[in-house]
Amino acid sequence: MTKPILLFAEDPGAALYMRGLPTALRAAGARPVTLALPFAAPYFDGEALLDAPATLDEAAAHALLDRHDPAALVFGTSENPESFAFILRTAARARSIPTLAAVDSAPNAEHRFRGRSADALCFAPDTLLVADTAAAEGFRALGVPDAAITVCGHPRLDEIAAIRAKWSDADRARQRQRHFPDATADQRIVVFVSELSVGLGDNPFRRDASYRLAGTSGSDARSRIIGEELLLALSALPVPIHRVLRLHPKQVPDEEADFARLFDQVSHVEPGLEVVNAADLVVGMTSVLLVEAACLGRPTLSIVPRPEEKIWLGDAADAIPSVHTREAIAAFLAGGVDSGWPQTRLHDASTDANARMVARILADVDRSAA
């Protein structure tokens, strides 16, 4: 193949999903070129990334396509309703270049390609590369045909399955000492995995009348409400707890300082997988890091403000315990006081997600060239 495959990522979630694609494409004989904006760039460590245009507009999109003349465009979704991905996709469509989008999780199918329009599929690509069947179902419900969806699995879970097989109890003990140096030997370490409370379709991330949980401060932010409910329940336990707030990669620590003071420790830049592996319990909502903790077999709990949000865990929803009332949170935590919380049983076989993505990308390229 002489023409390159153009990859574009803007947000951390998409970058985590796509970061193995350059290597996998090269192994298949293709030539990837990658443009990653600042929040996504660190995930492509070792890649020679393209310089981002000074202005992310239509002219920049056409200049990029003129310069590289790609055989296909693969872009990740983001929380930005004015994403450069949409401009690139429109420019590529005008040139009959196949377009594919990598969707790393199930939530917010109706907002991922809407932009500022009223059409949920306004900027949808020709093909969707989705992480699980829950994501696929969300897009089918919007009218995307089966032929335009490939369920690939998540490459990160393939990586974690291999890591899980290598890490020993001694590794976990060293991780605990390294990442929680102030925790005493008798303390249970509970990590709360925070999320952004803004993004695609803002309403689901702000309290409304359907919320079953209210928090303790009066905040309407989903992540803060859940964190406060967790802290309230932990305060009633008869065992010592070391409470850790794990910030989302896009959260700014200074902006979370008021919330962070409620915890014993804040984690932000430390390796997330090591942090959750060393914890005695990982609590979150529906983030990828919570699913990663489950894939490691660590005890996990999903707390959601509305029961229907459980499906946002995707195919991990059946394995990760999920609660949505103050009483249920307290009952789950109390159940782990004597002998610890149960390990999560999420041991799916490797899907080789990168290979599945590459196969569909190349198939679309071949179909377009025929």
CA distance linking residue 247 with residue 273, whole number of Å: 13
Is residue 235 packed enough to be buried (19+ CB in 10 Å), middle (13-18) or exposed (0-12)? exposed
Q: Is the pLDDT of residue 285 over 70?
A: yes
**Predicted structure pTM score:** 0.79
Q: How high is the pLDDT of residue 294? A: 95
Domains along the sequence of the chain with CATH: 5-154+351-369 (3.40.50.2000), 156-334 (3.40.50.2000)
**Mean pLDDT, residues 281-288 taken together:** 95
Q: Provide the CA 331 distance to its chain's centre, in angstroms.
A: 28
Q: How high is the pLDDT of residue 200? A: 54
| CA dihedral angle for residue 246, residue 251, residue 253, residue 258, rounded to 10 degrees | -80
Q: Provide the CA 49 distance to its chain's centre, in angstroms.
A: 22
Beta strand 5-9 with 72-76: parallel, antiparallel or unpaired? parallel
Q: How high is the pLDDT of residue 347? A: 58
DSSP label of 202: S
Q: Is the pLDDT of residue 323 over 70?
A: yes
Which regions of the chain does DSSP assign to beta strands (E)? Answer: 5-9, 32-36, 72-76, 99-103, 127-130, 149-151, 188-193, 241-246, 265-267, 281-284, 300-303, 322-323
Q: How high is the pLDDT of residue 346? A: 76
Q: In the sheet that 241-246 helps form, which strands lie side by side, from edge to edge?
A: 265-267, 241-246, 188-193, 281-284, 300-303, 322-323
CA distance linking residue 333 with residue 337, whole number of Å: 7
**Of 19-28, 205-214, 223-232, the least confident:** 205-214
Q: Is the pLDDT of residue 2 over 90?
A: no
Alpha helix (H) ranges present in 69-104?
Answer: 84-94
Encoded amino acid at 7, one letter: L
Contact between residue 355 and residue 24 where contact means Cβ atoms under 8 Å apart: yes
Q: In the sheet that 149-151 helps form, which strands lie side by side, from edge to edge?
A: 32-36, 5-9, 72-76, 99-103, 127-130, 149-151
How would residue 360 be classed by pLDDT, with cut points 50, 70 and 90? very high
CA distance linking residue 251 with residue 242, whole number of Å: 22
How would residue 349 be classed by pLDDT, with cut points 50, 70 and 90? low
Q: pLDDT per residue over 117-126, tens digit each? A: 999 999 999 9
Q: pLDDT per residue over 39-88, tens digit each? A: 999 999 999 999 999 999 999 999 999 999 999 999 999 989 999 999 99
